[in-house]
């Protein structure tokens, strides 16, 4: 039985890895896509933004669909849809076709990804769940840094003469294998009390998230009045959604009682700040190396290896050594380390800075990220009943995506809005104050978490 659980874990993590790579792999191929398809700057933006937006909008619904109709079934539908959409991306002949395929890819990912945490919750008893969560976190860290490297290798290598199309077509064999393996080794599960989809809730939360996330993704192309109007409207619609969910007794889209658990609400707040800071930083770091230091796409990707290599190593140490003994302070040490990495980089960046001189600071940042990722989801979902795993996972992943959008928008704006006479090194240093502030706020929010995850067997 334990062997089957481990096989099932490997299968769902493989599908997750496919999605996580697609979050970042496309960025390095955008110049090649522009040259081949004649895409405008706006179309290129939507190649990335279309995926992110549709993914975020459908996550809560995707998680609840798994609770109602079966997590394995929705997971397989998501893998199948993701694989087909990847084929459509690889076959696109116009920018419009590519953007449409990316939107479909994001919707399929929203069906697939929330089921990963839900299946882990169901598969593993409390004493074993921490290891599975650590594997989940380490994989997320490696994929985050590895995406640009894989994208650069596939695009520059022109595998099979496919050019940029290979970054999408590589998903086909992986997706087919994951689909067959899921059918064979992943057990089915669903929530007993979730019997039908809350369609009014779906409509409200989708509109509310659209009004929130769209201006964060497209803010630089929108007039300030429309940005503020959209953000204000999102608050109104989401408030109506919460009021509606409080009155709904049968099968709500979001189980609001989950927020009574400090581990869940505190974990979501930490995740919002942590992922916002990390993804915003990674964006400006890559752009800074290419535009400010003249690095090639591949060299910029390789420069991030010290960060990416440290993540799984320290995730494993966190799980095996520190987490069971210390609990919450491990998360706090991780936030302190990643903050120290930002401050260290602010001290050493200058014109002509080498990847070698940046490496120690990147190792410190990767170590902090590994310590956090190994335990954060374990704490966040510690008190969540198994029957509400889909709703909780969808909410958790949505918060992560919203945090990412906020971080990229805010930190990117701080970097690209250059003061007169400033160089990119000055802009990079100034932009890093925002992730420092986000990690500091995350440190303060971490005290909402329990001292130790309640289900840990110490």
pLDDT digits (tens, 9 = 90+) for 94-131: 988 999 999 999 999 999 988 887 888 778 776 676 67
- What whole-number percentage of the chain has pLDDT above 70? 86
Rounded mean pLDDT, 200-221: 81
- pLDDT score for 101: 94
Rounded mean pLDDT, 23-50: 76
56-65, 125-134, 279-288: least confidently modelled range: 125-134
Q: Kindly compute the dihedral angle of the four CA atoms of residues 175, 181, 184, 185, in this order, to the nearest 10 degrees.
A: -120
Q: Is the pTM of this model over 0.95?
A: no
Query: By the 8 A CB rule, do 271 and 398 touch?
Result: no
- Please say if the pLDDT value at position 1 is more than 70: no
- pLDDT score for 457: 44
The b/e string for 239-265 (b: 16+ C-beta within 10 A; e otherwise) is eebeebbeeeeebbbbbeebeebebbb
Which band of pLDDT confidence, cut at 50, 70 and 90, is reported for residue 172?
Answer: very high
- pLDDT score for 438: 95
Residues 6+ apart with CB under 8 A from 76: 179, 182, 183
Q: What are the angstrom distances between the C-alpha of 454 and each of 4, 61, 425?
A: 26, 28, 45
- pLDDT score for 420: 45
- pLDDT score for 62: 87
The pair of three-digit structure tokens given for residue 259, joined into one six-digit string: 């927020």
- Please say if the pLDDT value at position 38 is more than 80: yes
Query: By the 8 A CB rule, do 368 and 332 touch?
Result: no
Which band of pLDDT confidence, cut at 50, 70 and 90, is reported for residue 205?
Answer: confident
Question: How is 87-114 classified by DSSP, letter by letter?
Answer: HHHHH--SHHHHHHHHHHHHHHHHHHHH
Of 137 and 190, more confident: 190
Architecture of the domain whose range is 2-198+248-448: Up-down Bundle (1.20)
The pair of three-digit structure tokens given for residue 299, joined into one six-digit string: 């060299």
Using the 8-state DSSP alphabet, how is residue 188 labeled? Answer: P
> If DSSP states are collapsed to H, E and C, what string results for 314-363?
HHHHHHHHHHHHHCHHHHHHHHHHHHHHHHHHHHHCCCCCCHHHHHHHHH
Rounded mean pLDDT, 286-300: 77
pLDDT digits (tens, 9 = 90+) for 357-382: 889 999 999 999 988 887 887 778 77
- pLDDT score for 421: 45
Which band of pLDDT confidence, cut at 50, 70 and 90, is reported for residue 2?
Answer: low
Which band of pLDDT confidence, cut at 50, 70 and 90, is reported for residue 220?
Answer: low
C-alpha 339/C-alpha 432 separation (Å) is: 10
- pLDDT score for 156: 67
C-alpha 145/C-alpha 51 separation (Å) is: 19
Of 323 and 121, more confident: 121
Rounded mean pLDDT, 123-150: 70
Rounded mean pLDDT, 57-66: 85
pLDDT digits (tens, 9 = 90+) for 368-423: 998 888 788 777 877 777 666 666 777 777 788 788 878 877 887 788 776 544 56
- Please say if the pLDDT value at position 3 is more than 80: no
C-alpha 72/C-alpha 78 separation (Å) is: 10
- pLDDT score for 239: 92
Whole-number mean pLDDT of the chain? 82
Query: Can you give the length of the chain in residues?
Result: 458
> If DSSP states are collapsed to H, E and C, what string results for 206-247?
HHHHHHHHHHHHHHHHCCHHHHHHHHHHHHHHHHHHHHHHHH
Single out the residue of 336, 276, 342, 256 nearest to residue 307, CA to CA: 342
Single out the residue of 269, 260, 207 nearest to residue 236, CA to CA: 207
The pair of three-digit structure tokens given for residue 159, joined into one six-digit string: 């595998």
- What whole-number percentage of the chain has pLDDT above 90? 21
C-alpha 41/C-alpha 37 separation (Å) is: 12
Using the 8-state DSSP alphabet, how is residue 420 labeled? Answer: T
């Amino acid at each position: 039985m334990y062997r089957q659980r481990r096989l099932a874990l490997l299968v769902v993590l493989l599908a997750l890895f496919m999605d996580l790579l697609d979050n970042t792999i496309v960025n390095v191929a955008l110049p090649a896509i522009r040259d081949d398809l004649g895409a405008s700057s706006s179309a290129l933006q939507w190649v990335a933004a279309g995926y992110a937006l549709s993914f975020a909008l459908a996550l809560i619904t995707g998680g609840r669909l798994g609770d109602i109709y079966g997590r394995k079934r929705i997971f397989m539908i998501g893998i199948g849809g993701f694989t087909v959409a990847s084929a459509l991306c690889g076959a696109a002949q116009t920018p419009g076709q590519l953007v449409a395929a990316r939107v479909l890819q994001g919707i399929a990912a929203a069906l697939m990804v929330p089921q990963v945490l839900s299946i882990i919750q169901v598969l593993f008893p409390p004493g074993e769940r921490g290891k599975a969560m650590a594997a989940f976190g380490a994989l997320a860290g490696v994929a985050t840094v590895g995406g640009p490297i894989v994208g650069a290798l596939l695009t520059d290598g022109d595998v099979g003469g496919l050019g940029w199309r290979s970054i999408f077509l590589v998903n086909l064999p992986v997706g087919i294998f994951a689909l067959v393996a899921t059918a064979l080794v992943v057990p089915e599960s669903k929530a007993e009390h979730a019997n039908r989809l809350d369609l009014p809730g779906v409509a409200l939360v989708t509109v509310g998230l659209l009004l929130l996330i769209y201006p964060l993704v497209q803010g630089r192309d929108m007039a300030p009045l429309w940005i503020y109007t959209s953000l204000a409207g999102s608050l109104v619609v989401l408030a109506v959604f919460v009021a509606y969910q409080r009155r709904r007794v049968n099968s709500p889209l979001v189980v609001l009682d989950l927020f009574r658990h400090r581990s869940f609400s505190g974990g979501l707040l930490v995740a919002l700040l942590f992922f916002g800071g990390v993804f915003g930083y990674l964006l400006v770091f890559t752009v800074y190396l290419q535009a400010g230091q003249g690095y090639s796409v591949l060299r910029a990707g390789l420069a991030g290896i010290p960060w990416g290599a440290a993540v799984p190593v320290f995730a494993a140490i966190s799980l095996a050594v520190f987490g069971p003994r210390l609990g919450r302070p491990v998360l706090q040490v991780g936030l302190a380390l990643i903050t120290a990495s930002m401050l260290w980089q602010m001290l050493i960046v200058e014109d002509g800075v080498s990847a070698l001189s940046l490496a120690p600071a990147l190792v410190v940042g990767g170590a902090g990220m590994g310590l956090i990722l190994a335990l954060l989801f374990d704490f966040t979902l510690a008190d969540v009943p198994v029957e509400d795993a889909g709703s909780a996972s969808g909410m958790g992943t949505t918060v992560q995506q919203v945090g990412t959008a906020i971080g990229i928008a805010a930190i990117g704006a701080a970097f690209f809005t250059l003061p007169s006479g400033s160089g990119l090194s000055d802009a990079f240093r100034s932009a890093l104050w925002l992730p420092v502030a986000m990690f500091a706020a995350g440190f303060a929010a971490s005290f909402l978490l329990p001292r130790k995850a309640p289900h840990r067997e110490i």
